[in-house]
Structure 1
Amino acid sequence: MSIKKSIILIIIILLIDQISKIYIKTNFRLQESVEVFSWFQIYFIENDGMAWGTKISDIFSFVNDRTAKVALTLFRIVAICGIGYWLYDTTKKLKPNVLILAIALIFAGALGNIIDSVFYGVLFNDSYMDVASFLPEEGGYDSLLHGKVVDMLYFPLFEIDLPQWMPFYGGKRFNFFEPVFNIADMAISTGFIMLIVFNKKAFPKKES
């Protein structure tokens, strides 16, 4: 798989990811949802932290939210540069296609979420009371590097009441699958799953 094909794949994923996010941001209010099927909803939320909405300040209480947000965004930018070099080096050395494809998916997904984190605070106003506007006259909801990631894909496949005897969670309602995510998250997850499932093909052992 050539670097040209990798770039085309990355561009396609980025376009799908950003078009879906911009559509949701400019057509839905925050926490508004539409049921597509009983097991699938379009549910608009925003995430200003790490995976599952975790914030750095939740882990390190001495760091305030805004400083943590900038630190996280800058870390993501550094990480995407490393992933980009890994992709270039992998294609240059003609590594297995499954490895190149996995890295390209991870790169595209990471870049898609970085765009939100870096620019969305400037490009849109907030979505709390009304549908957001693109490039509003009054300015965006926050400054550069303080944007929130748009999530919208929600799959509440089923709910069950957990038995009382179960430790910690007994008697509580369990919803599977609860996290809300986006196209970029899907690309990242798919890339990592490929690396795990096809590990031997992605990293073949050299014959001695």
Structure 2
Amino acid sequence: MTTRSNALIWLLLSLAILVADQITKWIVLQHFELHESMPVIAGLLNWTLAYNEGAAFSFLSDAGGWQRWFFTVLAIVVSIVLVAWLKRTPRSEWTTALPLSLVLGGAVGNVIDRMRFGHVVDFVDVYHGDWHFPAFNVADSAISVGAVLLILFGLFAGKHAKT
């Protein structure tokens, strides 16, 4: 497979996710103090600056510090695997390239935070009444959407292959 025929062009989407993630985090860091909140949609959405030292949904956030390096190394390894996967994927297979690119852009965005700050900057606070979903960011959204798409496209691809 030549460079022209592989899905590496989808790295531009990863770059766009990374840039959007870092710009939004920069804006929030410039305008908010830790735990400061601004309502966006009453009863549903706030911008709230939060720091996450763990993984998704603050998993292992109070583990004592080792998790920063564990999740950094893990994300770097996953990112390398995703780039290699994109290189082996034909450009026309957007159902593989799109989700991989979303996950890659998000993973790199959060790695940058871990390396710069020792934690990930989160700011999207979705809530209802007293219940709050764990705060997240653009990178987390891209990772989540990419993972769901990868699973869905994989399930549908399996069905079409059997018929």
TM-score interval (norm. to shorter): 0.7 to 0.9
Per chain length, whose mean CA-contact separation is higher, i.e. which structure has more relative contact order (CA < 8 Å, sep 6+)?
2
Q: What is the Cα deviation at residue 196 of structure 1?
A: 2.3
Q: Determine the structure 2 residue equivalent to 1:111.
A: 108
Which residue of structure 2 aligns with residue 195 of structure 1?
A: 150
Residue correspondences, number: 157
Which sections of structure 1, spanning at least 5 residues, go unmatched? 59-64, 122-146, 160-172
Matching of residue 42 in structure 1 with residue 47 in structure 2: yes
Structure 1 residues 1-208: aligned runs within 5 Å: 3=7, 5-38=9-42, 39-55=44-60, 58=63, 65-91=64-90, 94=91, 96-119=93-116, 121=117, 147-156=118-127, 158-159=128-129, 175=131, 178-202=133-157, 205=161
For residues 157 and 22 of structure 2, what CA distance do their matches in structure 1 show?
A: 29
Aligned partners of 1:98 and 1:201 also within 8 Å: no
Aligned residue for 2:161, secondary structure, equals coil
**What is the rounded CA distance, in whole Å, between the counterparts of 1:56 and 1:35 in structure 2?**
26
Amino acid across the alignment from 2:126: F
Tell me the amino acid that sits aligned with residue 150 of structure 1: V
| TM-score relative to the length of structure 1 | 0.67
8 Å contact 1:96–1:202 — kept in the other structure? no
Whole-angstrom CA distance in 2 between matches of 1:201 and 1:151? 33
Q: CA deviation at 1:87?
A: 1.8
State how far apart, in whole Å, the 1-side matches of 2:54 and 2:155 are: 33
Aligned partners of 1:2, 1:11: CA distance in 2, in Å? 17
Secondary structure, aligned partner of 2:148: helix
The two structures have a TM-score, normalised by structure 2, of 0.84
* Residue 181 (structure 1) shift: 0.4
Against the structure 1 CA distance between its residues 202 and 85, is the aligned structure 2 distance closer, same or farther, given a 3 Å change threshold?
A: farther
Larger proportion of helix: 2
Structure 2: runs of 5+ lacking an equivalent = none
Percent identity over the alignment is 30
Q: Which amino acid aligns with 2:10?
A: S
Compared with structure 1, are the counterparts of its residues 201 and 69 closer, same or farther at alpha carbon in structure 2 (3 Å cutoff)? same
Residue 206 of structure 1: how far off its partner (Å)? 8.1
* RMSD (Å) for aligned C-alpha atoms: 2.4
Deviations 1:48-94 (A, max 9, x none): 11111121765xxxxxx233322221222112111221122123xx5
* Deviation digits for residues 66-124 of structure 1 (CA, Å, limit 9, x no counterpart): 33322221222112111221122123xx56211110111111111111111112x2xxx
